[in-house]
Amino acid sequence: MGGILKIAFKLLVNDRGKFTALLVGITFAVFLMVMMTSMFAGILTRSSSTVINIGAKMWVLDPAVNNVSSSIPMPDYVQDVVRSIDGVKYAVPLYSGGAQIKLKNGVYQAVTVIGLDDASLFGRPELIKGKIEDIYAENGFIVVQDAEIKKLGNPEIGSDFEINDHKGLVVGIARANISGLFGIPTLYTTFSRAISYLPSTRFTASYILVEPKSAKDIPHIKQEVGKLGYQALTDDEFIQKISDFYKFQTGLGINVMLMTAISFIVGLSISGQTFYTFILENLEKFGALKAIGAKGHELVSMILFQAGFTAFLGYGLGVGLASLIIMSAKLRMPDYAAQITNWNLGVAFVMVLIIASISSYIGIRRVIRIEPFDIFRG
Amino acid sequence: MASPAIRARDLAKWFGEGDARTMAVKSVSFDASFGEMLYIVGPSGSGKTTLLSMISGILKPNSGSVLVEERDIWKMGSDELADFRLNKIGFVFQDYHLFPKLTTLENVAIPLILKKRDWSESMKVAREYLDIVGLAQRAELPPVKLSGGEQQRVAIARAIASRPDILILDEPTASLDGDTGRKILEFVRDHILNDTRCIIIVTHDSRIFEYAHRIINMEDGRIVGEEHEK
């Protein structure tokens, strides 16, 4: 560290009151920004949990579908046509729907039922207990062990329940890669059992899962599916579509953006005001430095260093605090949907940079304008 | 007397324009020599601080020149002028302007750090200068823990740490009692002044006039008299 920056560092940290106020301001702002965007990221990820857990490369769906749970069933011919498209390795139907099950204790519980293609079981979950072939057994269902499993009374293999006047039998316990958004337990069964046990519309396939032969076949597949009046999306595109729905059509995104903006303004206000006061109180000293022979760019570098150091330290503390809170919350509430991603770390970082830039700009303007002559005049 | 350290010629400075124009300094010329302790005295508003600012490269005159080593400092660029102040001028401000959040030692080291000297070397040299002003034992204290006289000596140590040719003291006794003020001036004359240094003091404290080699009297922006050491 250059001597002049060391002086800047000591001037900053030795003024403990102001330094603490600056740090608290930036830490608090970063904490709020990271918390808000992390919760949003967690919600968005969970909203696409089925897409992520099933793991298909392409999904064929009705263009009006904007999230997994609001599927619009497609006629069987769509699957036949999709299978015949050049570049399609295979295509299988997927059932996704909601149901009420009656537990042994008489309580009704809403569940999400995923019906996997009978022949391939494409999109099957990873089992913790049981064997996947048991899904073909009479009344066989696989329960996903996530935060919601307790709502089913923590079933084990052999536990049974009633679903739409049919018996359901737990034949396996599966691991959940990502839990769902709405706090509803998930059951897997075969496609044929799903459509026979649950009330169905005339069309039954919620989605058609497609495995392209290669990535370069994807545009052609999309084009051909489009001709049928349906939409073929890669998994990433489907996730994006779902995210866009929650961001722009539910008010969720706007609210989170508003909260993030408010956090930013609060952080900027506290930090900007404190830093400005810090500069004002040291203005004469900066003027004295100028009189002694400090050049303008040296004073600017001092202020930038002070603002930057505080911003980065506050950023680290804010991110650390948010991580700690999220980790603690997840220990007590497994359902807690917050996820720190590179994206929200980046957003917070950019906002902290803006806070530091605006704060230092205000300070630099004052310091550049101070005339050493004013120091003599007193 | 030795050769001139500063030659001020026809310096004039005014503030404001038109009817609001105030002449602070009106065509002032004088020399200050190495080995000399020169006082600029006069009542408040006589222009002495403005004159001091112009000869030290802080306030640009409206006309006239300030020659140091045969160069007009007001023809220098801003960075060169900053270097001139750093290398040639030592300032002791009326209110000292010490950094309360730095130690006394670090305060003294500031000009050395601005001269890009290594931190530890700057501290070593600063300690030597603190020793010169008799405050080596107070090196690690913040200036606010020192008395007014001690703070004045710290400011002097800071001003001379970069070994300037010209030392400028602005109202050095304004915040001190009579005894302390006299001791400071005695110290400056006996320990800081030498044949390669010129000391210019702005003051209106007649109690310390006895330490001057020469006194320039100012009134209404003009030099109205000059007294030499008897």
pLDDT in tens, A276-334: 887 888 888 888 888 889 998 999 999 999 989 998 999 999 999 999 999 998 888 77
Work out the number of other CB atoms within 10 angstroms of the CB of residue A122. 18
- What 3-state class would DSSP assign to A141? strand
B101 contacts in chain A (CB < 8 Å): 10-11, 14-15
- Which residue of chain A comes nearest to B170, CA vs CA? A376
Alpha-carbon distance of B102 to B86, in angstroms, equals 20
Which stretches of chain A drop beneath a pLDDT of 50?
none
A residues 288-327 closer than 8 Å to B (CB): 288-296, 298
Contact A378 B91 (CB under 8 A): no
Contact A293 B87 (CB under 8 A): yes
- Computed over its alpha carbons, how large is the radius of gyration of chain A? 29
Write phi, then psi, for A34 (nearest 5 degrees): -70, -40
Q: Which residues contact B109 (CB under 8 A, 6 or more apart)?
A: B119, B122, B123, B125, B126, B161
Q: Are A93 and A191 in contact (CB under 8 A)?
A: yes
Q: Which residues contact A266 (CB under 8 A, 6 or more apart)?
A: A25, A28, A29, A32
Domain B4-228 has CATH 2.60.40.1930: no
DSSP labels, A196-243: HHS---S--BSEEEEEESSGGGHHHHHHHHHHTT-EEEEHHHHHHHHH
Alpha-carbon distance of A193 to A164, in angstroms, equals 12
B84 contacts in chain A (CB < 8 Å): 293
Which of these, B58, B54, B78, lies nearest to B66 by C-alpha position?
A: B54
DSSP labels, A302-347: HHHHHHHHHHHHHHHHHHHHHHHHHHHHHHH-TT------HHHHHH
Q: Are B104 and B140 in contact (CB under 8 A)?
A: yes
pLDDT at residue A1, as a whole number:
59
A3 contacts in chain B (CB < 8 Å): 113-114, 116-119, 122
pLDDT at residue B67, as a whole number:
94
| pLDDT above 80: residue B6 | yes
- What 3-state class would DSSP assign to A27? helix
Contact B97 A375 (CB under 8 A): yes
- Which residue of chain A comes nearest to B60, CA vs CA? A373
ipTM of this complex = 0.85
A residues 3-32 closer than 8 Å to B (CB): 3-4, 6-7, 10-11, 14-15
pTM of the prediction? 0.76
Choose the closest CB to A295 out of B59, B79, B170.
B79
The residue among B48, B51, B53 with the most chain A CBs within 10 A of its CB, best to mutate, is B53
Taking residues B37-57, what's their average pLDDT? 91
At which residue do the structure tokens 């650390």 appear?
A320
| pLDDT above 90: residue B230 | no
Alpha-carbon distance of B18 to B37, in angstroms, equals 38
pLDDT at residue B55, as a whole number:
93
Pull the structure tokens for residue A150: 């307790």
- What 3-state class would DSSP assign to A294? coil
Beta strand A166-175 with A231-234 is unpaired
A375 contacts in chain B (CB < 8 Å): 93, 97
Q: Inform me whether the C-beta atom of residue B113 falls under 8 Å from chain A C-beta atoms.
A: yes
Pull the structure tokens for residue A347: 């957003």
